[in-house]
Amino acid sequence: MKSFDVDDLYLHSTLQTLQGSPRHSLAVFVQSQPSRKRDGYRAAAWCVDLRGDGAPRQLTASESNARSARLSPDGKTLAFLTRRLGKIGTQIYLLPMSGGEAARLTSMKHPLESIDGWSADGAWLLASASVPWAEDEFDDTNLAEGDRPFVVRHLPYKMDGSGPTVGRRTHLFRIEVATGEATPITRGDFDVREARWSPDGKRLAFVRTREERQRHTMDLWIADADGRNASRATRTLASVTGVEWSPDATRIVFGGNRTTGDSLDHPWLLHIDDGRLTELGDADLHLEGDQFVWHEDGARIATVAAVRGMQELCVIDSERNRVRHFPRRLRHVLQVAQGDGRLLFAVATMRRPEEIHSCDWDGGSERRHTDVNRRWNRQRAQPRVTVRRFDVPDGDGGTERVDAWLLRPQGKGPFPVLVDMHGGPQSAVLVDYPSHVYWYELLARGWMILAPNTVGSAGYGSSFAKRLIGRWGELDLPQYRAILDRLRHDGLIDDRVACTGKSYGGFLSAWAIGRSEAFRAAVVCAPITDVEAHAGTSDTGFYVTPYAMGGEIDEARDRYHRLSPIEYCTDVDSAVLILQGQDDERCPLGQAEALFASLVRFSRRSLGMVVYPRASHALASSGRPSHRADYHRRLVDWIVRHAGEARGASKRVSAGETERADAATS
């Protein structure tokens, strides 16, 4: 049995764009895998027959990097985006599912961004493309890319992963399958985020930004199928995502919320005839992702919900507004679709990376259809995984119970422990191998991983998540420390304690080393360190930060400063490594630089910062493979070097045979 190491990230495949149909048994997905040679990713479209026992079949070559794959309504043709001829750029290709070569359909001069779907009769494709837009009378759209100034008249003007977005608008095109002719069907000073044609082919639903100075808010619009007679369908919501028509085209389900900056989305139902808007479930039904699936009866809707730290399939009875959950122990459902009258979904556990499964609409008769990650993963010695509940202070003089993931190496404690602080904070610990490659090498070296869902986390009700507003660090850090005290009392850990986290987790790890002496070492990743500066420089900070702080800067300036880790650098007594993407627009480079500069002046402990060129906020999970390997390897090395090797360990510890986990093991 082999031990995990960082290079295993090159073996891991991510499954994307899962799609099926209630009318036939074929399902398609895109499998993406890192390439060491290209220092990038190879992505191919695959299909699987849900009725058969055969292995999935590869449809496109990995070198073509297919994306946005969409299967036609009759299951006979696959449409996908790829770039095969350099001068032509990314175009739509069509592939007959019966076999043969893919043929290029379009010759678009505008960069295509996604395929949003087929028309019900299979005669048209709906796609979005980036179109030049003059921001003012001096803005020359004829200038070459890279030479044109960024003319900024609204926020956000940049997005993490894509950089500046001004000077262009994203609009919809209707593409004739027989000829490839593309016709624009939306125009104007706004961006279309997603769109769906109705099943009867008569209408178009699309999500677009508002024509305001702050354009993070989005609304649902309804139009004729050709884009004419568009009218705004929502006015009271701050966000709309995951739009899906009912089979009879009388209703639309989608996710959204009322409060700008709030990331706790709820499911909503729009009745087309009278414009009535209904919130599905109760106030504590929070979505995980933005995918919905209608049953053919038009009465049931499947989606993924956040429930006590898990991501579970649930089915909503749209007529009675009742919700049924399908809990399956310690796992996360990552995406959901439909296929052959069944629910089709990708699922992962802490011990098994993602694979595609299906089940009946009542949650029964579950089957697994792929083994893309099982082949290499089953050769690795697996950790012991449990979720344990702890009594912790609630910050208001009482106590409450919170959940924490414990991943233990083989052998007996006490173990050294890495405390992993999740992002959000209105999120939860992710069952996500690509982001947490470092966990598994540390486990192989004899370390334990502690990953709690403390106050502020999603999936435990709205009040639990929102109680952290304006109290970042002050409520959740004492809960982390109480859990450590309990584990030390139980003999599971000793004083070799380190912490890490990214995004909000980066904030909390930076806060923790300045507000406690519990951590020998810390790796602070893509942090927020100066809350006021972050509000003005992040792509989302101008609206998320006032929500998170419970007020605008002029209303709560003292709170912005009090909750900034940069204010406490004189008290840091931990060895600190900072990891940061150069082009991170969510938690910009300046936040990491400010922390590093302050620690250079005030700290006498070991200190380092690594900045990855052209890397975004998603560096750890989907950045350049060489950057990811370096990132995870440095994190492991820093923790082990500065917090201490596991006792009895040499350079690496073989985990030996996998022990049987207890009843709570995933």
What pLDDT does 392 receive?
98
Assign domain 386-643 to a CATH class: alpha beta
DSSP 351: S
The two tokens of residue 125 are 């494709």
pLDDT tens, residue by residue, 95-145: 999 988 999 999 999 999 999 999 999 999 999 999 999 999 999 999 988
Q: What count of other Cβ atoms lies within 10 Å of the Cβ of residue 584? A: 26
| pLDDT at residue 540 tops 90 | yes
| pLDDT at residue 176 tops 90 | yes
Mean pLDDT (whole number) for 45-72: 91
When pLDDT is cut at 50, 70 and 90, the band that residue 459 belongs to is: very high
- CA 137 from chain centre, in angstroms, equals 38
Mean pLDDT (whole number) for 567-575: 96
Mean pLDDT (whole number) for 254-273: 96
Share of the chain above pLDDT 70, in %: 96
Shortest CA distance to 507 belongs to which of 430, 565, 576, 577?
565
Rg (CA), the chain: 25
Rounded CA-CA distance 558/194 in Å is: 40
The two tokens of residue 575 are 């060895």
Q: Nearest 5 degrees, angle CA 47-CA 53-CA 57?
A: 25
What pLDDT does 328 receive?
79
What pLDDT does 145 receive?
83
| pLDDT at residue 87 tops 50 | yes
Rounded to 10 degrees, what is the CA torsion of 354, 9, 421, 590?
A: -130
| pLDDT at residue 513 tops 70 | yes
What pLDDT does 663 receive?
31
What pLDDT does 664 receive?
39
What pLDDT does 646 receive?
53
Rounded CA-CA distance 630/620 in Å is: 10
pLDDT tens, residue by residue, 347-379: 999 999 999 999 999 999 999 999 999 999 999
| 186 and 171 Cβ atoms separated by less than 8 Å | yes
Mean pLDDT (whole number) for 266-270: 97
What pLDDT does 141 receive?
95
| 497 and 518 Cβ atoms separated by less than 8 Å | yes
What are the φ/ψ torsions at residue 555 (nearest 5 degrees)? Answer: -90, -25
What pLDDT does 351 receive?
95
**First and final C-alpha spacing in the chain:** 19
The two tokens of residue 160 are 């993490």
| pLDDT at residue 238 tops 90 | yes
When pLDDT is cut at 50, 70 and 90, the band that residue 654 belongs to is: very low
SS (H, E, C) 609-634: EEEECCCCCCHHHHCCHHHHHHHHHH
SS (H, E, C) 568-625: HHHHCCCEEEEEEECCCCCCCHHHHHHHHHHHHHHCCCCEEEEEECCCCCCHHHHCCH
Q: How far is CA 114 from CA 130, 213, 340, in A?
A: 10, 26, 25
**Is residue 94 left, alpha or beta, with left meaning phi > 0 and alpha meaning psi from -120 to 50?**
beta
Mean pLDDT (whole number) for 79-107: 91
| pLDDT at residue 260 tops 50 | yes
| pLDDT at residue 211 tops 60 | yes
Burial of 490 (0-12, 13-18, 19+ CB in 10 A): exposed
Q: How far is CA 625 from CA 37, 380, 518, 631, 636, in A?
A: 10, 21, 33, 10, 17
Bridge-partner residues for 46, per DSSP? 29, 58
Shortest CA distance to 307 belongs to which of 401, 432, 428?
428
Mean pLDDT (whole number) for 612-624: 98
For the ranges 78-87, 319-328, 648-657, the maximum mean pLDDT occurs at 319-328
Rounded CA-CA distance 564/528 in Å is: 8
- CA 456 from chain centre, in angstroms, equals 18
| pLDDT at residue 660 tops 60 | no
Rounded CA-CA distance 296/554 in Å is: 52
When pLDDT is cut at 50, 70 and 90, the band that residue 389 belongs to is: very high
| pLDDT at residue 645 tops 90 | no
Q: What count of other Cβ atoms lies within 10 Å of the Cβ of residue 127? A: 26
Give the side-chain half-sphere CA count within 13 A for 544: 21
pLDDT tens, residue by residue, 444-457: 999 999 999 999 99
Q: Nearest 5 degrees, angle CA 129-CA 264-CA 581?
A: 60
pLDDT, the chain, mean? 94
* Lowest pLDDT segment from 28-37, 58-67, 292-301, 561-570: 58-67
Can you state the angle between helices 437-444 and 625-643, rounded to 10 degrees? 40
What pLDDT does 161 receive?
94
Question: At 553, which amino acid appears?
Answer: I
What are the φ/ψ torsions at residue 463 (nearest 5 degrees)? Answer: -65, -40
Mean pLDDT (whole number) for 218-238: 97
Mean pLDDT (whole number) for 214-222: 96
What pLDDT does 655 receive?
35
Higher-pLDDT residue of 179, 53: 179
What pLDDT does 188 receive?
97
Rounded CA-CA distance 29/344 in Å is: 11
Share of the chain above pLDDT 90, in %: 91
> Structural domain boundaries of the chain?
386-643
What are the φ/ψ torsions at residue 342 (nearest 5 degrees)? Answer: -120, 165
What pLDDT does 666 receive?
35
Mean pLDDT (whole number) for 513-532: 97
pLDDT tens, residue by residue, 20-57: 988 889 999 999 999 999 999 999 999 999 987 778 99
H-helix or E-strand spanning residue 128 = strand 124-132
| pLDDT at residue 190 tops 90 | yes
Mean pLDDT (whole number) for 609-617: 98
